Amino acid sequence: MQHQTNPLTMPDGFSLFSQMWSPDSGVAAKGVVVLIHGLGEHSGRYGHVARYFTDRGYIVVAPDHRGHGRSQGKAFGYFERFSTIVDDVHELVKSLPSTLRGLPLYVLGHSMGGLVSLHYVIRYTPRISGLITSAALLDVGEGLNPLVTGVLKQVGNIAPKLGLLKLDSTTISRDPKVVAAYDGDPFVFRGKISARVGVELAAAVDYAKHNLSKIDRPALILHGAADRLVKPQCAQIIYDGVSSKDKTIKIYDGLYHEILNEPEQVRVMDDIYAWLKVH
């Protein structure tokens, strides 16, 4: 496997960290997988995923979102606008070398990255060969009283960086080594999710739910049945909402939020690979 880092300058001047993993030289690439990570984490946590797919002939490209990982800048764990995160993915895809543009392109988004992926396909209608979501975040703000929502919006404007909620790391995986690595990773944000980020996510979820029918690309929708961070029902919402005629849903019994970091991760990646081969 070959690896390189690619800092990209966004239209507003922000330097976005990204990296690319490629098959060994001499191996013809079968396609490109753009991997979009979740809230608070970073692309470096997916090196094992990249190795699995490069061993099978795929190139994997992944950014660190603004406020995350090596793109944290001055505001670790924070971003002003969710739409900017989506725009960054669009710019990343546009920046791919011309030698890769004839290859099948797939987007794989986990958790908030799944929500980003949905927005990317809805807003930019890229001619991708497939969309894959892993525990896509689609339940922020669900069931909140409109009055509470209004107050949160005000807080998000007045004190945008006020911390409201910290994620429980024990919910990400049943593997204690994964949890320990997550808690000890200096590039993982372990503070409280800010008011502005929470408001932006709630609005992004609402937009995605009302525009899922605009997605007509082949879709593979994955979720762990024992996920306590994002309700497994979110997968069904996506499946029912997209207009794709070619769509598949898989709910894994007993798996927590990070299905690509569970003890059964190879089974999950095998399922993704089997799907890629026919798309």
16-63 residue pLDDT tens? 999 999 999 888 899 999 999 999 999 999 999 999 999 999 999 999
Q: How confident is the model at residue 225 (pLDDT cuts 50, 70, 90)?
A: very high
First-to-last alpha carbon distance for the chain, in angstroms, is 23
**Catalytic position from the list 111, 117, 134, 194:** 111
Which among 37, 42, 110, 257 is annotated as catalytic? 257
Q: Is 183 a catalytic residue?
A: no
Tens digit of pLDDT for each residue in 71-120? 987 789 999 999 999 999 999 999 999 889 889 999 999 999 999 999 99
Type of residue found at 259: I
**How many separate domains does the chain show?**
1
For 124-138, the pLDDT digits (tens) are 999 999 999 999 999
Under DSSP, is residue 18 helix (H, G, I), strand (E, B) or coil? strand
Interacting residues of 79 by C-beta distance below 8 A, sequence separation 6+: 65, 66, 67, 85, 196, 197, 200
What pLDDT is stored for residue 145 in this prediction? 41
pLDDT at 196: 87
Residue 147 has a pLDDT of 45
257 has catalytic annotation: yes
pLDDT (tens digit per residue) in 239-265: 999 999 999 999 999 999 999 999 999
At 129, which CATH number?
3.40.50.1820
Establish whether 98 is a catalytic residue. no
Q: Would you put residue 32 in left (φ > 0), alpha (ψ -120 to 50) or beta?
A: beta
The active-site residue, picked from 22, 227, 244, 279, is 227
Q: For residue 161, is pLDDT > 70?
A: no
The range of the structural domain enclosing residue 136 comes to: 2-277
